[in-house]
Structure 1
Amino acid sequence: MRNGRISDFNLICDARDKSNDNLDHRMMARFRAALNQSELREIKLSGWWFTWSNEQSHPTLARLDRAYCDIDWDARFCSAFLQPLANVMSDHYPLTLTYEQPECRTLPFHFMAFWPLMEGFHDVVARAWHAPCPALDALATS
């Protein structure tokens, strides 16, 4: 979705994207190369793997329907994913893009053993140690 554009390729990237061995390896390689050159990332699909069926008695299944985004979009909406919907009138499974707001969580503090060896480390610690701490001041007055 670079610059807000959406395209429908109907191509597969990998042999596992199709349920049989009737593959065009050259086209798959060209498609992968185009995605890599464009620096596009795939938005993950939850649910099932295949998104298309030829609807025969011994069906060929393929993962044709995907969504790609650029690096900036992926950074902004890193928890976005695709969900397949019920398929009633088409050989393709419609997909809906879902976005869950990531929970804000505090990462635990990890002391790195090399920090004291860095120039200025002791000065930074001393300034921080002696700086006023409004949170502690509030606790002391309550």
Structure 2
Amino acid sequence: MEERIGVGGAEMQRRCRNFAHWIESSGFIDLMYSGPKHTWARGETEATYMAARLDRFICNEEWRLRFEEGAVCHLPKNMSDHCPIIVSSGGFAPIPTSLRPFRFQAAWLNHDKFDNFVSSNWNRTEPIVPLQKEFASRLVKWNREVFHNIFRKKAELWARIGGVQRELSNGWNRKWVKL
């Protein structure tokens, strides 16, 4: 019941106890998570707001011992009343920048200065393989300095949404619902 807001009653308490008993008697382990506390929420007023951790990953002891680094992440919800959930048997270590492959972004084509950038940085007389590597590195720099890193902006927005949803997990608040 401590994983719920605005949803309760004697019948719900009974069902929660039965579920907890089933997990324990079956020898399952509830994998802990990072991210928003609730995996489901709806309602925009104090009277209608409800939230709960409806979704979870459970495993047996054998799986847990085999995948000690296993982790679960609740992502911020968007366009649904449920949040997406990711489970990883190896945890969620950040990928070093040096290992990330270059990715061309179609949005660059719409930028006013992209054609000029390509014209001034593409040398048709150089061998293609070294040119591609150098061009990609210049393009990454152009993305950061001129286009501005849309991935960082996207990550910032998702972090903000996640923060709002974490605040809502403490209880309904008009300010957070409006955000």
Alignment partner, residue 94 of structure 1: 84
The ranges of structure 1 where at least 4 consecutive aligned residues each deviate by more than 3 angstroms after the TM superposition are none
Give yes or no for the alignment of 1:81 onto 2:71: yes
Q: 2: CA distance between counterparts of 1:54 and 1:84?
A: 16
CA distance in 2 between partners of 1:88 and 1:47 (Å) = 14
Bigger Cα Rg: 1
Identity %: 25
Deviation at 1:48, TM superposition (A): 2.1
Distance apart, 1:21 and its partner CA = 5.9
- Separation of aligned partners in 2, 1:33 and 1:42: 12
> What corresponds to 1:50 in structure 2?
38
Change (3 A) 1:61 1:21: closer
Deviations 1:18-43 (A, max 9, x none): 01362411111111111111111011
Q: 2: distance between equivalents of 1:71 and 1:61?
A: 30
Partner deviation per Cα, 1:55-86 (whole Å, 9 max, x = no partner): 33232111111100011001111221111223
More helix by percentage: 2
Tell me the amino acid that sits aligned with residue 29 of structure 2: R
Kept in 1, the 8 Å contact 2:7–2:51? The answer is: no
TM-score of the two chains, using structure 1 as the length reference: 0.55
Aligned residues: 88
Q: Aligned partners of 1:20 and 1:53: how far apart in 2?
A: 10
In structure 2, how many angstroms separate the alpha carbons of the residues matched to 1:91 and 1:85? Answer: 12
46, 51, 60: which is aligned to 1:70?
Answer: 60
RMSD: 2.1
Q: CA-to-partner distance for each residue in 1:82-117, whole Å, 9 max, x for gaps? A: 112232221110101122399xxxxxxxxxxxxxxx
Question: Unmatched 5+ residue regions in structure 1?
Answer: 1-14, 103-142
1:26 matched residue in structure 2:
14
Structure 1 residue matching 2:5: 3-state secondary structure: coil
Amino acid at match of 1:31: F
Q: CA deviation at 1:16?
A: 0.9
Check conservation: 1:55, 1:91, Cα contact below 8 A: no
The answer to whether the 8 Å contact 2:35/2:75 transfers is: no
